[in-house]
Amino acid sequence: MKKNIAISIGVFIAGLCSIIYELLISTAATYFLGDSVKQFSLTIGIYLFSMGIGAFVSKFSQRNPLNAFVSIEFLLGLIGGLSIPFMYFMFIRLSISQMQWTTWFYIFVIGLLTGLEVPLLTFAVNNVNFKESLSNILSLDYIGGLIATLIFPFILLPFVGLFYSSLIFGAVNILLGIFMSRYVESKSSRNKYMLFGVVSILLLGGLTYKGADMLKIWEEKIYKAPIAVREQTPYQHIVMTKKKDDIRLFLNRVIQFSSKDEHRYHESLVHTPMLMHPEAKDILILGGGENLAAREMLKHQAINKIDIVDLDSMVFHLAMYNHDLLKINKAASLHPKVNMIVEDAFNYLSTNANQYDLIISDLPDPNSEATAKLYTKQFFELAKNNLKEDGIFITQSGEIYMSNAAFSCIVNTMKTVYENVQPIHCYIPSFGDWGFVMGSKRDLVRTDLSQLDKIHTKFLTDKVMANSFGLPKDVDIIDTKINTLDNPIILQYFLEDWEKWKADLVPK
Taking the C-alpha atoms of residue 109 and residue 429, their distance in angstroms, rounded to an integer, is 43
Tell the burial category of 175 from Cβ atoms under 10 Å away from its Cβ (0-12, 13-18, 19+). middle
Active-site residues, by number, are 362
135's enclosing H/E stretch is helix 130-151
Taking the C-alpha atoms of residue 409 and residue 94, their distance in angstroms, rounded to an integer, is 33
Beta strands in 279-386 (DSSP E): 282-287, 305-310, 338-342, 356-362
CB 117 within 8 A of CB 68: no
Taking the C-alpha atoms of residue 352 and residue 344, their distance in angstroms, rounded to an integer, is 12
CB 327 within 8 A of CB 262: no
Provide the residue type at 230 as one letter: R
End-to-end CA gap in the chain: 60
Provide the residue type at 445 as one letter: V
HEC secondary structure over 371-410 = HHHHHCHHHHHHHHHCEEEEEEEEEEEEECCCCHHHHHHH
Cβ neighbours of 168 (radius 10 Å): 16
Residue 423 pairs in a beta bridge with 437
β-pair type (305-310, 282-287): parallel
Taking the C-alpha atoms of residue 155 and residue 135, their distance in angstroms, rounded to an integer, is 30
CB 272 within 8 A of CB 300: no
Q: Side by side, which strands form the sheet with 246-251?
A: 227-232, 237-243, 246-251, 254-258
Contacts of 496 (CB under 8 A, 6+ apart): 405
CB 339 within 8 A of CB 308: yes
Provide the residue type at 15 as one letter: G
Residue 250 pairs in a beta bridge with 239, 255
CB 273 within 8 A of CB 296: no
CB 352 within 8 A of CB 259: no
Residue 254 pairs in a beta bridge with 251
Residue count of the chain, please give it.
508
DSSP 8-class letter at 94:
S
Contacts of 239 (CB under 8 A, 6+ apart): 219, 223, 227, 229, 230, 231, 249, 250, 253
